């Protein structure tokens, strides 16, 4: 089964008439994860038919406004609509207090539990959702900022139902077989697991890397990912500006994807100076051909 990534915003810094600040929804096996939440993210989820009440986890890269100023409105709306399901938020230090202050100013309360995990040191964190192992990996921006690496949790083999029925395997044994165990019949005959199940499909990996200077030293972490979203604020002719502001160029995004041998590169977080993105796309593709623009409203299969 594939994961799906829907882009809510692909612009940097401020919205333009046609583009919006960062946000994306990673859906996998019924679990929805929101990654960054720029202003207007809740509105775009509405427009794109994504039920934000079914988001279980939110990961925030850093506390520049274009990456999180839509979060307070989203949490507010979740409460207004009577959400009961707990929510987990992973973010740099400071957001929990800010949220509490905003709730207090409105004399309100959250109708659901929010568990904040605040990342407050420049180190790697190992986290998990119900479907993913997640690594929060510090990158190089003007303030503490984390990239997120999602690796599908070690998953089970696919049951060969026909074979199980043929050997009269009781349903109560199915989980053990999916976990790789052989089956021993009541008569003591051992049926090898390989006859009862098929190998798991290749594990899915997804990397979210924004906002940061080019960090080729991190390519090993993201090696073999099905897809990586890498920020592409500038064309490479503005490398000096990218370095000064803690960002990357399209060429560098392509180089990262090539060095990490990922399947697909999505580029986004474009400077508002670019009215259209073909030059950025061409630049990244010159290094890594399987590159696409992360278009707002589009969903991408991560497989």
What do you get for the CA distance between the two ends of the chain, in Å? 8
- Stretch of 9-17, 184-192, 195-203, 277-285 lying at the interface with a copy of itself (CB under 8 A): 9-17
Asked if residues 82 and 55 have their Cβ atoms less than 8 Å apart, the reply is no
Other CB atoms within 10 A of residue 2 CB: 14
Q: Which of 31, 56, 102, 298 binds a copy of itself (CB under 8 A)?
A: 102
Q: Which of 2, 4, 43, 303 binds a copy of itself (CB under 8 A)?
A: 43
Total site size for a copy of itself, rule CB under 8 A: 36
Structure tokens at 138: 């510090």
Q: Which of 6, 10, 20, 219 binds a copy of itself (CB under 8 A)?
A: 20
Residues in 53-92 that interact with a copy of itself by CB under 8 A: 63-66, 69-70, 72-73, 76-77, 80-81
- Stretch of 97-105, 161-169, 178-186, 191-199 lying at the interface with a copy of itself (CB under 8 A): 97-105
Q: Which C-beta is closer to a copy of itself: that of 9 or that of 268?
A: 9
Q: Which of 1, 14, 161, 279 binds a copy of itself (CB under 8 A)?
A: 14
Cα-only R_g, the chain: 22
Q: Which C-beta is closer to a copy of itself: that of 93 or that of 202?
A: 93
Asked if residues 286 and 251 have their Cβ atoms less than 8 Å apart, the reply is yes
Catalytic residues: 66
51 is an interface residue for a copy of itself by CB under 8 A: no
Asked if residues 223 and 258 have their Cβ atoms less than 8 Å apart, the reply is no
Partners of residue 32 on adjacent β-strands: 27, 55
Q: Which of 1, 143, 179, 279 binds a copy of itself (CB under 8 A)?
A: 143
Positive or negative, the CA dihedral 39, 42, 43, 48 is positive
Count H helices, E strands: the chain? 10, 18
Q: Which C-beta is closer to a copy of itself: that of 63 or that of 159?
A: 63
Query: Residue 285's closest CA among 232, 225, 220, 213?
Result: 232
116 is an interface residue for a copy of itself by CB under 8 A: no
Q: Which of 3, 7, 8, 13 binds a copy of itself (CB under 8 A)?
A: 13
**DSSP 8-state secondary structure symbol assigned to residue 112:** S
Q: Which C-beta is closer to a copy of itself: that of 69 or that of 281?
A: 69
207 vs 227: CA distance, rounded Å: 7
Asked if residues 91 and 118 have their Cβ atoms less than 8 Å apart, the reply is yes
Enumerate binding residues for a copy of itself (CB under 8 A).
13-17, 20, 39-40, 42-43, 46-47, 63-66, 69-70, 72-73, 76-77, 80-81, 94-95, 97-98, 101-102, 105-108, 142-143
């Amino acid at each position: 089964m594939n994961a799906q990534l829907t882009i809510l915003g692909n612009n940097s810094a401020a919205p333009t008439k046609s583009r919006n600040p960062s946000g994306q929804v990673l859906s996998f096996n019924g679990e929805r994860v929101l990654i960054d939440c720029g202003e207007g993210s809740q509105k775009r989820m509405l427009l794109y038919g994504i039920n934000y009440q079914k988001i279980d986890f939110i990961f925030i890269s850093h506390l520049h406004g274009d990456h999180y100023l839509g979060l307070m409105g989203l949490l507010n709306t979740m409460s207004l609509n009577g959400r009961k399901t707990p929510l987990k938020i992973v973010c740099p230090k400071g957001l929990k207090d800010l949220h509490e202050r905003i709730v207090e100013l409105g004399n309100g309360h959250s109708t659901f539990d929010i568990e904040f995990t605040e990342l407050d040191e420049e180190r790697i964190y190992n986290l998990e959702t119900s479907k993913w192992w997640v690594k929060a990996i510090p990158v190089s921006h003007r303030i503490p900022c984390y990239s997120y690496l999602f690796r599908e949790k070690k998953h089970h083999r696919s049951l060969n139902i026909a074979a199980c029925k043929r050997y009269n395997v009781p349903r109560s044994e199915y989980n053990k077989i999916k976990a790789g165990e052989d089956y021993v019949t009541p008569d003591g005959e051992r049926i090898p697991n390989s006859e009862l199940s098929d190998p798991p499909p290749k594990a899915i990996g997804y990397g979210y890397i924004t906002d940061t200077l080019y960090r080729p030293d991190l390519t090993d972490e993201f090696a073999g990912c099905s897809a990586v979203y890498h920020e592409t604020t500038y064309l490479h002719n503005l490398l000096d500006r990218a370095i000064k502001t803690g960002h990357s160029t399209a060429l560098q995004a392509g180089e990262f994807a090539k060095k990490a041998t990922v399947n697909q590169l999505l580029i986004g977080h474009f400077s508002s100076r670019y009215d259209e993105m073909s030059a950025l796309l061409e630049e990244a593709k010159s290094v890594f051909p399987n590159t696409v623009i992360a278009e707002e409203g589009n969903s991408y299969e991560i497989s």
